[in-house]
């Protein structure tokens, strides 16, 4: 019973943080201050009050339309809110589920979980922004890099391990960047490679890299089959990299063990 209540509370927290991440993505593009201005409708610029800002439910209640100008609101908003809630709950089940607490120190586990929430929030911003704008912003990757390095070091991961993971992935991307003269991969991807390295460490970062290419190939080929994209079309690689990193944060150990046992 307590567990169900906790899951609901964490789900609500995820919806609220997801709503905030939507605002961050929007204002990163528009270039406004992130926090201090009141939220407004992007079409009619009418200020939104509390009943327009209830994550997920305002969207459903208003049928996906602005209360003031009745223009359609992007599905991005409720989807990001819902995805954030799901990721936060999956993280809870992994890091704080009663059985895992009994094994270790509860406070340590809570810190690991909070770190996971911070990492996945950064990755969600990169995921959505690259999907929408085909761009990975240094304004996001540089803070993510510093925060991830500090938190993981503080949690006891060896600094050398984190740096090795970051250098290998970023180096791999840099090589592709040089070989293709910047056509296959962008500078933002290289910086994201550093972030992946310090978030995941060695060798888990390899799982994320492998996963990103599989996800990209599967989705790319499906879109070509559906005639939504062509062979030369660009796919937002940062979207796959950040998605793969979140999946690896959640299930990396299992995926690595499975991979090692299958070869």
> Given the rule CB under 5 A, which residues bind Zn ion?
41, 43-44, 66, 68-69
End-to-end CA distance of the chain: 42
Considering the complex, what minimum distance in angstroms separates the CB of residue 68 from Zn ion? Answer: 5
Phi, psi of 157 (to 5 degrees): -80, 140
Separation of alpha carbons 6 and 28, rounded Å: 32
Separation of alpha carbons 185 and 163, rounded Å: 21
Considering the complex, what minimum distance in angstroms separates the CB of residue 19 from Zn ion? Answer: 17
Contact 241, 189 (CB under 8 A): yes
Tokens representing 60? 């459903």
Separation of alpha carbons 140 and 161, rounded Å: 23
Considering the complex, what minimum distance in angstroms separates the CB of residue 39 from Zn ion? Answer: 11
Considering the complex, what minimum distance in angstroms separates the CB of residue 44 from Zn ion? Answer: 3
Q: Which helix (H) or strand (E) holds 9?
A: helix 2-30
Considering the complex, what minimum distance in angstroms separates the CB of residue 186 from Zn ion? Answer: 34
Q: Which is nearer to Zn ion, 41 or 219 (CB)?
A: 41
Considering the complex, what minimum distance in angstroms separates the CB of residue 69 from Zn ion? Answer: 3
Half-sphere exposure of 251 (CA within 13 A, CB side): 9
Which residue has tokens 């003031």? 68
Q: Which is nearer to Zn ion, 41 or 89 (CB)?
A: 41
Q: Which is nearer to Zn ion, 73 or 206 (CB)?
A: 73
Considering the complex, what minimum distance in angstroms separates the CB of residue 56 from Zn ion? Answer: 18
Q: Which is nearer to Zn ion, 68 or 134 (CB)?
A: 68
Q: Nearest-5° angle of CA 110, CA 255, CA 193?
A: 75
Nearest 10 degrees: CA dihedral of 240, 243, 249, 255?
A: -60
Q: Which is nearer to Zn ion, 44 or 224 (CB)?
A: 44
Q: Which is nearer to Zn ion, 67 or 229 (CB)?
A: 67
Q: Nearest-5° angle of CA 138, CA 152, CA 88?
A: 80
Separation of alpha carbons 20 and 259, rounded Å: 36
Q: Which is nearer to Zn ion, 29 or 46 (CB)?
A: 46
């Amino acid at each position: 019973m307590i567990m169900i209540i906790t899951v609901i509370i964490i789900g609500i927290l995820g919806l609220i943080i997801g709503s905030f991440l939507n605002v961050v993505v929007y204002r990163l593009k528009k270039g406004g201050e992130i926090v201090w201005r009141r939220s407004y409708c992007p079409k009619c610029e009418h200020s939104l009050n509390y009943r327009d800002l209830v994550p997920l439910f305002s969207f459903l209640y208003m049928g996906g339309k602005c209360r003031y100008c009745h223009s359609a609101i992007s599905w991005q908003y409720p989807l990001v809110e819902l995805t954030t809630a799901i990721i936060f709950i999956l993280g809870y089940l992994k890091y704080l589920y009663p059985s895992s607490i009994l094994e270790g120190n509860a406070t340590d586990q809570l810190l690991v979980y909070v770190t996971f929430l911070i990492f996945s929030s950064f990755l969600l911003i990169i995921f959505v922004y690259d999907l929408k704008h085909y761009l990975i912003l240094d304004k996001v990757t540089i803070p993510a890099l510093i925060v991830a390095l500090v938190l993981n070091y503080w949690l006891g991961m060896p600094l050398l391990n984190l740096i090795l993971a970051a250098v290998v992935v970023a180096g791999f991307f840099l090589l592709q960047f040089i070989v293709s003269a910047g056509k296959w991969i962008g500078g933002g991807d290289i910086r994201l490679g550093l972030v992946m390295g310090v978030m995941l460490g060695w060798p888990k970062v390899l799982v994320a890299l492998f996963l990103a290419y599989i996800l990209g190939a599967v989705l790319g080929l499906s879109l070509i089959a559906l005639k939504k994209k062509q062979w030369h079309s660009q796919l937002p690689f940062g979207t796959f990299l950040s998605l793969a990193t979140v999946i690896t944060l959640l299930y990396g150990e299992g995926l690595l063990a499975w991979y090692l046992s299958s070869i």
